Amino acid sequence: MAQEEEIKMIIARANRIPVWSLPYTYLAIIGIGYFFTFYDISDIGLAMPAIDAQFHIGSSLSLFLALSVGLIGYAIGSYVIGTVADIYGRYRSMILTMALTAVGSLGDALSFNVPELAVFRFITGLGLGADLNLVSSYVSEFAPPGVRGRITVYTFIVGILGQAITPFIGLVLVPVYYNGWRYLFGIGAVIAFIALLLRFELPESPRWLAAKARDIAGAKKVLEMMESTALRRVKSLPEPKPEEVTLEEQKFPTLYVFRRPYSVRLAILVVMWFFWYIGNYAFLGDAETILASAGFPVASSIRYIAVGAVGYPVGAAIMAFTADRYERKFVIFADTVVWFIGLFLFSIKTGLFIYLGSFLAALALGMYLQVAYTYTAESYPTRARTSGFALTDGIGHAGGAFGAIFLPILVASFSFAFGFRFIAVTGLIAGIIALLGPRSSRKTLEAVSA
């Protein structure tokens, strides 16, 4: 059989499987890595007030260390390791990303001056940026078309618990112990090392093996394991229906992204993520500090965000039932409407509204993130999926740096209400832009990325 026919058959065999065809423990393994990712996204904002006080670094440098250094590493890591994943495989790259985050987080905990902290925040960012990219692409390449959104959300539910639990851990540690911020990072390092060890159990993506590595034997071996697992869950599998597959010259992955239709999708998704990340990082990184600056005690500021953080897993759970039922881009828009309402309530700056607004903002984040990650990953072809995701997410993160820096300026220059209503609007703009993207729900990856 010609190589093109072999690849078409491998993809057809993968697409015919109607259920998750790997051990369910693999979802947990991926989820633990996700848990650390969201744990770290939250812990830096909780730790920085104590780090600032001990290192006497000043608010401007504190903000740069807390967000900008990590975001620079995030963008670089996402693209570089995403490109490595397209060339050398998803499996090796997912081991690398978790190793970087584990070392980085341990270094954060052991840092005793500003340069050390900056270096390890950068290393942590390298791993975090790439891991968010890789997990979404990896799970999408294994999940059946009809339940791809739901399966990716399952891993996300485990991960988003990190964002829900971290504020409570921070509340117990940071205001109480002098080295509480070190303990906070240390806990993250332990979680990351556990996730690293567990990831050695994962298989390589058969789609990548066939389409990029041309390793037909390796792809078939993984597929046989998937089919065997699936047959224990369903009585039989339908006959594979090969789709058209074009074997193109093996090029540097990024070159594919700048060809139509992917260049148009890149533009849409970059702008979508840019506007979303403005509010995402501003809220996650600045909310506690701005509340404290507005006269709320530090413990109360953390408590408002911690109680609201219950919304993260609730939002993810909602998406487990809706991510595949409705067209994904419409779901993304609806999520941003919830975000807009939540931030508008938060901006009123009274106790009950802060709690409710914090909950709805967290609910919107829990609903938006994994569905939008899945949507981004499935919009690009296998040969450049992680590279396309990396460019999209990496450039989009410029919005995160913008939001984190300018929200405090907007609050100081205008008002608390103006600042938080501004990021409410930018989130809604992201949802409107998503409506310009392709349809993807219940389609095979090859049909979406064609």
Cα–Cα distance for residue pair 167/160, rounded to 1 Å? 12
- The rounded mean pLDDT for the chain is 84
Whether pTM exceeds 0.75: yes
Q: Which pLDDT value is given to residue 316? A: 85
Q: Quick one: tokens of 140?
A: 């999408």
Is the pLDDT confidence value at 450 over 70? no
pLDDT of residue 202: 92
Q: Is pLDDT above 80 for 284?
A: no
Residue 65: pLDDT band (50, 70, 90) is low
Confidence tier at 174 by pLDDT (50, 70, 90): confident
Q: Give the residue, 13 or 337, on which the prediction is more confident.
A: 337
Give the pLDDT mean for 329-344. Answer: 94
For residue 64, name the pLDDT band (cuts at 50, 70, 90): low
Q: Give mean pLDDT, residues 298-320.
A: 78
The pLDDT assigned to 133 comes to: 82
Predicted local confidence at residue 96, as pLDDT: 94
Q: What is the pLDDT of residue 167?
A: 77
Please report the pLDDT score of residue 273 as a whole number.
95
| pLDDT tens readout for residues 85-144 | 988 889 999 999 999 999 999 998 998 887 888 889 899 888 988 888 888 889 888 988
Q: What is the mean pLDDT of residues 172-194?
A: 88
What does the alpha-carbon distance between residue 269 and residue 377 come to, in Å, rounded to a whole number?
10
Q: What is the pLDDT of residues 379-423, one digit of tens each?
A: 988 888 888 988 898 888 888 878 877 888 888 788 878 888 998
Domains defined for the chain, CATH in brackets = 14-234+253-448 (1.20.1250.20)
Q: What is the pLDDT of residue 61?
A: 58
Q: Residue 200: what pLDDT?
A: 93
